[in-house]
Amino acid sequence: MSDSGGLTPLLGYIEANGDQGHERFISDDAAQDAGVGAERLLAGRPNWVRAALVVDAFLHLSTGRIDALIIHAVQYRPDRRSIQMAVPYRPHTSEQGFGVYRPKFLETNGFTDPDYGVMGEAFFAGVDAHEQAVAVWNAHLIDESV
């Protein structure tokens, strides 16, 4: 993304035995791919404990629309709950070049009292665990919110 087009919809999951996997959705219709990914995420699989779908889309804000990675994460057990976040970014084709803004929480379900601090820590632990993602994040972070 930092030097090319958009991200292919990606669904990552963790199984009850600790195994991890992912599925990419690739066709000529990105919106259809995102829809298929969303259906699979919501349905889950019997052995999945957690899963997250990442889709490249537009985030509509009061200041206008902006490119963003939309992340929908689901915990299937012991109790089902989910969060939706956005990571707004400036595309590599912009005059200022590629940049990543602070993430935004969009929605939570299944939480009595969401602890956004804990959720943010979990998000950044995930970023830090992915060598390529953390390198891009650190090199292109725009330390401001949109």
| Residue 1, domain member (yes or no) | no
| Residue 4, domain member (yes or no) | no
Taking the C-alpha atoms of residue 35 and residue 138, their distance in angstroms, rounded to an integer, is 30
- Whether 35 and 73 have beta carbons less than 8 Å apart is answered as no
| Residue 112, domain member (yes or no) | yes
- Its domain, for residue 76, covers 10-140
What's the pTM?
A: 0.89
pLDDT value at residue 131: 86
Joined tokens for residue 63: 């200041």
Domain tally, the chain: 1
| Residue 3, domain member (yes or no) | no
| Residue 71, domain member (yes or no) | yes
| Residue 66, domain member (yes or no) | yes
Q: What is the pLDDT of residues 104-125, one digit of tens each?
A: 999 999 999 999 999 999 889 9
To the nearest 10 degrees (0 to 180), the angle between helices 131-140 and 116-129 is: 110
| Residue 88, domain member (yes or no) | yes
Q: What is the pLDDT of residues 30-82, one digit of tens each?
A: 889 999 999 999 999 999 999 999 999 999 988 899 999 999 999 998 899 99
| Residue 25, domain member (yes or no) | yes
